Structure 1
């Protein structure tokens, strides 16, 4: 998981070159005030989303195997919750057509402000578009980057996939 101000995206461009496509698209959304919807972006696609946040209790964690998510808050306020997938339990098994698995458990709640982004990998479970106590409005961009286009290997921790071990 990476979380930072959008203005610092260059720090991460070496490991995720497609982040540049995401930033250019966000600039286009701001400049042209693009409406909600799905748009082609680089080697992936993006959604422009607007809505009201939901309670953390109403949401489940999600993970994706085929795409990285880059979520950029443009306007309003939102909180999201992060957890390592290994620390959660499966609620709905992975659907390869929709590229989503639903999980339950608890993690760390994080406040987003306009101009911030977060990037999540397949092992990064996330609950986007939430609030602690009072619903808020938000406008955001979610860019999906195809994992097989990355310069580095990404593990999904699915059965049958060779696990990568690290020693510190």
Structure 2
């Protein structure tokens, strides 16, 4: 997991070739003006989903993990507290992995919270179980999905 500012995001372009494309897109796009819904950046290899959702209580947020995609989580309105735990340390599967939706859920307690707001981005890899949308307010989120392989 990486927490960084938008100014720093291009520093992580070396992670994989697709991440370089995504970082450049983030740096060159007015994210506030982006339409809600799915935006294709590079086919199904890199895309963004913008949504406005009500936050939830921490006890209602289960850890999730992905195998195919890196998540870049950006909070455009509000402040998102996100639970985190290493995927390898999660023991209690709540919902088995769905290949179609690239997601699984754990009932484990998290070990750490991070806060994402303003010009920050949280980057979650398949090794990172995370539970976003923890807030007492409505959030506008952008999640950029980057194919790992």
TM bucket, shorter chain: 0.7 to 0.9
The 3-state SS of whatever aligns with 2:29 is helix
Q: CA deviation at 1:21?
A: 3.2
In 1, the alpha carbon distance for the partners of 2:22 and 2:62 equals 25
Give me the CA root mean square deviation.
1.7
Q: Report the equivalent of 2:80.
A: 78
Q: Could you tell me which of 104, 108, 124 is aligned with 1:120?
A: 124
Please tell me whether Structure 1 or Structure 2 has the larger radius of gyration of its CA atoms. Answer: 1
Higher relative contact order (CA 8 A, sep 6+): 2
Q: Is the 8 A contact 2:74 2:117 kept in 1?
A: no
In 2, the alpha carbon distance for the partners of 1:45 and 1:142 equals 8
**Shift in CA distance, 26/40, structure 1 to aligned 2, threshold 3 Å:** farther
Q: Report the equivalent of 2:19.
A: 19
Corresponding residue pairs, total: 144
Q: TM-score, normalized by length of structure 1?
A: 0.78
In 2, the alpha carbon distance for the partners of 1:73 and 1:26 equals 15
1:33-92 deviation digits (Å, cap 9, x = unpaired): 122101111232110111221111111111111111111122211110000112222111
Residue 145 in structure 1 maps to residue 149 in structure 2 = no
Matches within 5 A, 1:7-156: 7-23=7-23, 24-25=25-26, 27-30=28-31, 33-42=33-42, 43-88=45-90, 89-107=92-110, 108-131=112-135, 135-148=136-149
Give the gaps of 5 or more residues in structure 2: none
Q: CA deviation at 1:106?
A: 1.6
Q: Is the 8 A contact 1:48 1:142 kept in 2?
A: yes
Q: TM-score, normalized by length of structure 2?
A: 0.87
